[in-house]
């Protein structure tokens, strides 16, 4: 069975205030053409179809167009909701769409209710695990711990129990939206940390033939059977080194996996350049970036006048300007933002307590801070569901 694995479309999202609507429409056309060209048997989309819980009308129209075009190919499609989607909104009409071969899986309680598709070698069970917010689903799964590993582990226990009750030659595919240990994040994914931990071990998914992951925007292989497709388009400059692709997965009669990447059309290359402004304007090595979307980091000790206007004269698609003076680490003018870079909310809160009080928080106080941060994230998740 040939499976096309994609995720993280983020329909409706822009890139540094530049509309990505045309690029997203071009991706949908590319997806449909790839399904036809490569004779795909099943399309799987592992969450974050939309960028927000209440998407724009244009995003909904593009999604509707994608569904109609996929259904028109007579190729089944299995989709799950991600942490950016409103599961309830996305799941409206799922029963009717299933009759057209578009199978939406957005309800946590239905995670062990697979879509059964067949080929010449027998059945393949597709299990859709939508994004599972621990605070909202821990009771549904009676999870021992209200964290990502606890709820995903409980959901996978249900999947394995259902699979065990099926014929022994039934192959299996799981769609999940999660941060799996070993994955490389970017700046454009929403933080899903709970209890100080965002990731879950790949071993949670043991016992199935292929795991189609969504959430992280870089295409990557966690193991032969556990992969991220990544987003088809870039949504932050941290993705400048990404190759935007989909996975074309051949699932053999005994569960063998052969996976290749299909490149996605990207409207422009991304470039991150750094140095004093005058050097950036004169460096002949940077000519190749003149038609790229550019993020420039200026290292001048003093902010130069009209930096963006001067950059744009050479790099007309410059979108982001960062000022990072080349100073000694102990210089008092080193920016607060630089000092916070790559630090978690928990670390920032603990540092603040230590700075104000003159002593770092103890273990009990760290637990209180962690619980408060988790409470805020859970409240945000409930607000997303309610919208």
Residue-wise pLDDT tens digits, 327-357: 655 555 555 555 666 677 888 888 888 777 7
Q: What is the pLDDT of residue 335?
A: 54
Statement to judge: residues 348 and 318 lie in one domain:
no
End-of-domain residue from the set 263, 293, 310: 263
Q: How confident is the model at residue 97 (pLDDT cuts 50, 70, 90)?
A: very high
Alpha-helical segments (H) within the chain: 21-37, 57-72, 87-90, 94-99, 134-141, 148-164, 277-282, 307-314, 336-340, 345-357, 363-386
Statement to judge: residues 238 and 284 lie in one domain:
no
More confident residue, 151 or 359: 151
Q: What is the pLDDT of residue 185?
A: 86
Residue 199 confidence (pLDDT) above 80:
yes
pTM of this structure = 0.84
Residue 196 confidence (pLDDT) above 70:
no
Residue given tokens 């230590």 in the structure block: 354
Statement to judge: residues 28 and 171 lie in one domain:
yes
Q: What is the pLDDT of residue 210?
A: 98
Instruction: Give the C-alpha distances (Å, rounded to integers) separating 349 from 114, 218, 330, 355, 373.
Output: 43, 29, 22, 10, 9
- For the stretch 298-326, pLDDT in tens is 999 999 999 999 999 999 999 999 999 98
Statement to judge: residues 331 and 298 lie in one domain:
no
- For the stretch 21-39, pLDDT in tens is 999 999 999 999 999 999 9
Statement to judge: residues 82 and 108 lie in one domain:
yes
Statement to judge: residues 322 and 332 lie in one domain:
no
Statement to judge: residues 183 and 44 lie in one domain:
yes
End-of-domain residue from the set 214, 244, 263: 263
End-of-domain residue from the set 247, 263, 279: 263
Residue pair 124/171 in contact (Cβ under 8 Å)? The answer is yes
Domain that holds residue 315: 270-326
Statement to judge: residues 32 and 136 lie in one domain:
yes
Residue pair 323/339 in contact (Cβ under 8 Å)? The answer is no
Sequence-separated contacts (24+) of 223-226 with Cβ below 8 Å? 224/257, 224/259, 225/257, 226/180, 226/202
Q: How confident is the model at residue 359 (pLDDT cuts 50, 70, 90)?
A: confident
Mean model confidence pLDDT for the chain: 91
Read off the CATH number of the domain in which 47 is found.
Answer: 3.60.21.10
Average pLDDT over residues 222-251: 97
Say how far apart CA 168 and CA 46 lie, in whole Å.
Answer: 26
Statement to judge: residues 39 and 87 lie in one domain:
yes
Statement to judge: residues 368 and 277 lie in one domain:
no
Q: How confident is the model at residue 66 (pLDDT cuts 50, 70, 90)?
A: very high
Statement to judge: residues 181 and 53 lie in one domain:
yes
Domain count of the fold of the chain:
3
For residues 250-279, b (16+ Cβ closer than 10 Å) or e, as one string?
Answer: ebeeebeeebebbebebeeebbbbebebee
Q: What is the pLDDT of residue 135?
A: 87
Q: What is the pLDDT of residue 274?
A: 97
Say how far apart CA 215 and CA 205 lie, in whole Å.
Answer: 16
Statement to judge: residues 233 and 295 lie in one domain:
no
């Amino acid at each position: 069975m040939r499976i096309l694995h994609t995720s993280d479309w983020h329909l409706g999202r822009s890139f540094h205030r530049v509309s990505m609507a045309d690029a997203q429409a071009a991706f949908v056309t590319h997806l449909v053409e790839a399904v036809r060209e490569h004779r795909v048997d099943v399309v799987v989309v592992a969450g974050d179809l939309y960028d927000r819980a209440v998407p724009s009308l244009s995003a909904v129209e593009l999604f509707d167009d994608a569904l109609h075009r996929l259904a028109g190919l007579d190729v089944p499609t299995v989709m799950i909701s991600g942490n950016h989607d409103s599961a309830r909104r996305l799941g409206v009409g799922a029963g009717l769409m299933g009759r057209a071969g578009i199978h939406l899986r957005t309800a946590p309680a239905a995670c062990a209710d697979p879509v059964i598709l067949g080929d010449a070698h027998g059945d393949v069970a597709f299990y859709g695990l939508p994004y599972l917010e621990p605070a909202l689903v821990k009771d549904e799964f009676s999870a021992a711990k209200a964290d990502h590993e606890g709820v995903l582990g409980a959901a996978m226990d249900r999947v394995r129990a259902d699979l065990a009750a099926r014929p022994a030659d039934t192959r299996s595919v799981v769609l999940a939206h999660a941060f799996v240990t070993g994955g490389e994040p970017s700046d454009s994914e929403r933080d899903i940390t709970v209890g100080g931990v965002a990731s879950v071990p790949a071993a949670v998914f043991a016992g199935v033939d292929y795991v189609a992951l969504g959430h992280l925007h870089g295409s990557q292989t966690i193991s032969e059977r556990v992969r991220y497709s990544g987003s088809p388009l870039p949504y932050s400059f941290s993705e400048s080194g990404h190759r935007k692709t989909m996975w074309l997965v051949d699932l053999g009669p005994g569960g063998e996996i052969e996976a290749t990447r299909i490149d996605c059309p990207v409207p422009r290359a991304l470039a991150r350049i750094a140095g004093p402004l005058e050097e950036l304007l004169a460096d002949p090595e940077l000519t190749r970036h003149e038609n790229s979307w550019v993020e420039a980091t200026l290292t001048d000790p003093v902010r130069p006048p009209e930096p963006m206007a001067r950059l744009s004269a050479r790099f007309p698609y410059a979108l982001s300007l960062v000022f990072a003076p080349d100073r000694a680490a102990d210089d008092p003018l080193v920016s607060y933002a630089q000092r916070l870079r790559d630090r978690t909310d928990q670390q920032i809160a603990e540092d603040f307590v230590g700075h104000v009080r003159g002593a770092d928080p103890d273990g009990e106080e760290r637990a209180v801070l962690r619980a408060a941060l988790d409470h805020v994230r859970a409240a945000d998740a409930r607000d997303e569901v309610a919208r």
